[in-house]
Amino acid sequence: MSPPATTRSAPGAAATGAASKHPHATGPPRQQNGGVTAFATNPVLRRYWHAVARPDALLAGPLAVTLLGERLVVWRAADGRLAAAVDRCPHREAPLSAGAVTDLGLQCPYHGWTYDAAGRCVLVPSAGAGAAIPARAALEPVWVAECYGLLWLCLDEPAAPIPAIAEDADRCFRRINQPVERWAASTTRLVDNFLDTAHFPFVHLGSFGGAADAEVARVALEPLDDFYGYRYEVVAANALGAAASGQASATVERRMSTGFALPFLVRSTIEYDSGLRHTLLLCSAPLDDTATWFTFVVWRNDDFSVPGDEVTRLDRMIGAEDKRMLEQVPGPLPLDATTLVNVQADRASVEWKRRLKDLLSEH
Ligand code: FES
Ligand SMILES: [Fe+2]
């Protein structure tokens, strides 16, 4: 991970600035029956890591990314270092993401001012060589890290590291990445969905849900490494056969666990009778209250013979089914305890909502 050379201003001040800079990015907070729904500009979220892109997205030059209602730019400097900042040139506010990376740094497309990886201006072409550079000619840096084949951003001093996935350092496992997609659904809706198994026989009828029992067994919540959640077993239709499960039967038993790490990460582990283990990290990052950067990462201890695209085909089908459902559900999820009706099967989601609401109310 590479923290920026300087840290940001106090969280409260930074978030106020963000809201006033981009007043149309998130729209007014939605209130449903008095429920708390708006979350994306809460300053506490700026202190957590959010996965926003694949590293190869930087090959073509600087990348514009909206995260938590802020417009940001991410680039790789000529020496290979990653850098990120608020996407605004302090000279005349041009978007630096429309510029280019030169040997000196990130060059603004408007008048060519150029910034190093720490956000310091190192060149003002109009001033001529040797002229003093104004002290305030600096970008607002953002923390950036490369981890699990993804680019992660954190807008203020990180409150917690990116959760550990032990499989990533285990040579028995390979890692398979997916593209980062923009979903027109609220991040809180995504996380709620990923913690929920009761939708399997309905939403996932076309993939693995055909054999799932609609009745959801009681689960106990427990710490699961860096996550918090539950273990369970499902009988799944073996839709894609051995490529997905390592066995050829019509149905397969999947011993699973699902847990969350605040604010928006979910890890699912699947173990088949064949000994095959398949771990998924579901990464959801808010562009704003109603749109999400979504991607997932798979770790798998197979013999590496089946192409990665093939082993993740089932996961991609499942993701597309969730996306189709969630893009029909308007606005963010109410986080308070009374707006929605919950049943036993919603236990993990209710616990995540409670903890997220506590986190958000710290500010
Ligand atoms: S706006 Fe960036 S150099 Fe003028
Ligand atoms: Fe789902």
Q: What is the pLDDT of residues 102-152, one digit of tens each?
A: 999 999 999 999 999 999 999 999 999 889 999 999 999 999 999 999 999
Stretch 241-270: mean pLDDT: 89
Please work out whether the CB of residue 155 comes within 6 Å of at least one atom of ligand 1: no
Please work out whether the CB of residue 95 comes within 6 Å of at least one atom of ligand 1: no
Please work out whether the CB of residue 98 comes within 6 Å of at least one atom of ligand 1: no
* pLDDT tens-digit series, residues 66-94: 999 999 999 999 999 999 999 999 999 99
Pocket test for ligand 1, best of 92, 102, 122, 136 (most atoms within 8 A of CB): 92
Specify the pTM: 0.88
**Residue 142 alpha carbon to ligand 1 centre in Å:** 19
CB 121 within 8 A of CB 115: yes
CB 229 within 8 A of CB 256: no
| Segments of the chain assigned E as strands | 31-32, 35-36, 50-53, 63-67, 70-76, 82-86, 100-101, 106-107, 114-115, 121-123, 143-147, 150-154, 174-177, 181-183, 222-224, 227-237, 251-261, 265-272, 277-286, 292-300
Residue 35 has a pLDDT of 55
Please work out whether the CB of residue 133 comes within 6 Å of at least one atom of ligand 1: no
Residue 4 has a pLDDT of 44
pLDDT at 24 over 50: no
Q: Which residues surround ligand 2, an ion (CB under 5 A)?
A: 322
- Which SS3 state, helix, strand or coil, does residue 348 take? helix
Average per-residue pLDDT for the chain: 89
Stretch 5-33: mean pLDDT: 36
Pocket test for ligand 1, best of 113, 121, 123, 126 (most atoms within 8 A of CB): 113
Of residues 75, 74, 68, the one with CA closest to residue 19 = 68
How far apart, in whole angstroms, are the C-alpha atoms of residue 86 and residue 83?
11
Stretch 235-259: mean pLDDT: 82
pLDDT at 290 over 60: yes
Alpha helices in the chain (DSSP H): 11-21, 187-194, 200-203, 242-245, 308-311, 313-326, 347-361
Residue 28 pLDDT level (bands cut at 50, 70, 90): very low
- Which SS3 state, helix, strand or coil, does residue 29 take? coil
Please work out whether the CB of residue 108 comes within 6 Å of at least one atom of ligand 1: yes
**Residue 91 alpha carbon to ligand 1 centre in Å:** 5
Residue 8 pLDDT level (bands cut at 50, 70, 90): very low
**Closest atom of ligand 1 relative to the 108 alpha carbon:** 2
Stretch 254-260: mean pLDDT: 94
Residue 36 has a pLDDT of 61
Please work out whether the CB of residue 357 comes within 6 Å of at least one atom of ligand 1: no
Please work out whether the CB of residue 232 comes within 6 Å of at least one atom of ligand 1: no
Residue 322 pLDDT level (bands cut at 50, 70, 90): very high
Residue 247 has a pLDDT of 78
Pocket test for ligand 1, best of 88, 91, 114 (most atoms within 8 A of CB): 91
Please work out whether the CB of residue 91 comes within 6 Å of at least one atom of ligand 1: yes
Residue 34 pLDDT level (bands cut at 50, 70, 90): very low
**Shortest-distance Cα residue to atom 3 of ligand 1:** 111
